[in-house]
């Protein structure tokens, strides 16, 4: 089966419900994507969206802002970690999603929370029968819980404290999340829901058109990894009013999902003929000490992204940032093995990329 034949388009509004919370809480992070090489002065944040964000942030009560920062913090994004369940359970409405969470056990919700980002570091010699069993053990054994949070999670200290709070009172963790979702839907999202749905339908047509026109080459630019897509049974694509140049990506053994901001949909349709931008991106990727360390490790062997993060003392968002540059520059490959995200590279690939970039640069100067 070809990659295109695996594609399923989703129009569930639940994604944008959750992604709007993420955008509100991390607007500056999303805006900074427009300053990257090859993007600056070519794409701009939507003025309409910017105005909505500014107005909405002024309306939010302090307790809601605090909960937003707890569940939709840039480093953890706990509130988004159920994204694959929206497709898997065919959840179409916000009310359905809230009921789905309400019927979920507290332990299952905690399991999703600790798997946020690249997931916990599990050593090869650590015996973990299942994450369900692990959660029970951590709740029952405070010393083990403290050790696990400190040693196995790629979160900054402040966010590890949030996880500790979740485990100390799982019921409150669930109820606070539900309260945030219910309040936000009723007071903020519901009034704009129909407008967002209509806009997303238009952009789904753009997405479908690009897939028809450019096929697999376009699709490969939207998914996190071509290797993931080739192994998956289903590739779920969607659009987001709130995500701009960014995307929400998630993978499982049988599914790859990518919900893309409007500008990302258009950017992926561009041909890579902006020589200076491509050259600039590659040398920016190589001009960073941490990314050089990642390359050195990836050349030696396939290495777990979580292990890299711990070795280099990087959080989830920091390692994601550096991996993005290296993938975009075609310097590393990322794949899944035994439920772990692995990166790899080789000297010949790096050499070929650098020589190609130098040739382009010299031709441009000449």
Chain segment 132-162, per-residue pLDDT in tens: 788 888 888 889 889 988 888 888 899 999 9
316 neighbors 117 (Cβ within 8 angstroms)? yes
Residues forming a β-bridge with 257: 236, 250
Better-predicted residue by pLDDT, 121 or 6: 6
Which pLDDT does position 276 carry in this prediction?
66
Residue 310: φ, ψ to 5°? -70, -45
Report all structural domains of the chain as residue ranges with CATH numbers, in order of start.
4-103+178-267 (no CATH), 275-365 (1.10.10.10)
Better-predicted residue by pLDDT, 334 or 174: 174
Range with the poorest average pLDDT among 7-11, 86-90, 169-173, 310-314: 310-314
Sign, Cα dihedral of 148, 153, 157, 160: negative
The burial of 325, by beta-carbon neighbours within 10 Å (0-12 exposed, 13-18 middle, 19 or more buried), is given as: buried
Beta pairing, strands 247-251 & 255-261: antiparallel
12-25 confidence digits (pLDDT tens)? 999 999 999 999 99
Query: What is the pTM (predicted TM-score) of this model?
Result: 0.84
Beta pairing, strands 340-344 & 303-304: antiparallel
Better-predicted residue by pLDDT, 324 or 110: 110
Which pLDDT does position 127 carry in this prediction?
54
| Nearest residue to 207 via CA among 271, 288, 142, 262 | 262
Distance CA 167, CA 187 (A): 29
For the CA atoms of 72, 75, 81, 84, the dihedral, rounded to the nearest 10 degrees, stands at: 110
End-to-end Cα spacing for the chain: 45
User: How many other β-carbons are positioned within 10 Å of the β-carbon of residue 74?
Assistant: 16
Which pLDDT does position 327 carry in this prediction?
82
Measure Cα distances from 44 to 7, 31, 41, 80, 260 in Å.
28, 9, 7, 25, 16
Q: Which tokens in the block code for residue 219?
A: 């699709």
Measure Cα distances from 284 to 298, 327, 333 in Å.
18, 13, 18
Q: C-alpha angle with apex 347: 346 to 349, nearest 5 degrees?
A: 70
Contacts of 199 (CB under 8 A, 6+ apart): 241
The structure tokens 């711990």 sit at 310
Distance CA 57, CA 49 (A): 12
Sign, Cα dihedral of 315, 320, 325, 330: positive
Q: What is the largest CA-CA distance in the chain?
A: 69
Which pLDDT does position 120 carry in this prediction?
74
Across 335-347, average pLDDT: 78
User: For helices 131-140 and 106-114, what crossing angle results, to 10°?
Assistant: 100
- Alpha-carbon Rg for the chain, nearest whole angstrom, is 21
């Amino acid at each position: 089966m070809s990659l295109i034949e695996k594609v399923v388009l989703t129009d569930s509004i639940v994604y944008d419900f959750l992604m709007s919370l993420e955008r509100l809480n991390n607007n500056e992070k999303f805006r900074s994507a427009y300053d990257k090489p090859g993007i600056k002065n070519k794409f701009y944040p939507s003025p309409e969206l910017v105005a909505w964000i500014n107005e909405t942030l002024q309306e939010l009560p302090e307790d809601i802002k605090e909960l937003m920062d707890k569940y939709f913090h840039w480093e953890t994004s706990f509130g988004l970690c159920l994204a694959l369940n929206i497709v898997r359970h065919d959840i179409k409405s916000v009310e359905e999603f809230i009921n789905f969470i309400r019927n979920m056990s507290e332990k299952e919700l905690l399991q999703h929370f600790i798997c946020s980002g690249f997931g916990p570091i599990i050593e090869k010699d650590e015996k973990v029968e299942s994450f369900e069993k692990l959660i029970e053990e951590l709740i029952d054994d405070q010393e083990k819980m403290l050790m696990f949070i400190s040693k196995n999670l790629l979160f900054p200290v402040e966010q590890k404290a949030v996880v500790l709070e979740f485990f100390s009172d799982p019921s409150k963790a669930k109820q606070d999340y539900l309260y945030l979702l219910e309040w936000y839907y009723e007071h903020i999202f519901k009034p704009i829901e129909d407008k967002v749905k209509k806009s997303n339908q238009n952009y789904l047509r753009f997405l479908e058109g690009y897939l028809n026109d450019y096929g697999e080459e376009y699709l490969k630019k939207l998914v996190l990894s071509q290797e993931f897509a080739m192994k998956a049974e289903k590739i779920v694509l969607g659009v987001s009013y709130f995500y701009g140049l960014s995307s929400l990506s998630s993978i499982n053994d049988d599914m790859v999902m990518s919900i893309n901001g409007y500008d990302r949909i258009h950017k992926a349709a561009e041909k890579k003929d902006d020589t200076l931008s491509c050259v600039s991106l590659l040398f920016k990727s190589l001009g960073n000490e941490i990314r050089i360390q990642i390359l050195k490790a990836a050349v030696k062997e396939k290495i777990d992204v979580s292990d890299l993060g711990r070795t280099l003392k990087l959080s989830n968002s920091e390692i994601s940032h550096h991996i993005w540059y290296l993938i975009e520059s075609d310097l590393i490959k990322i794949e899944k093995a035994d439920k772990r995200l692995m990166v790899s590279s080789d000297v010949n690939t790096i050499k070929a990329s650098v020589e190609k970039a130098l040739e382009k640069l010299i031709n441009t100067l000449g």
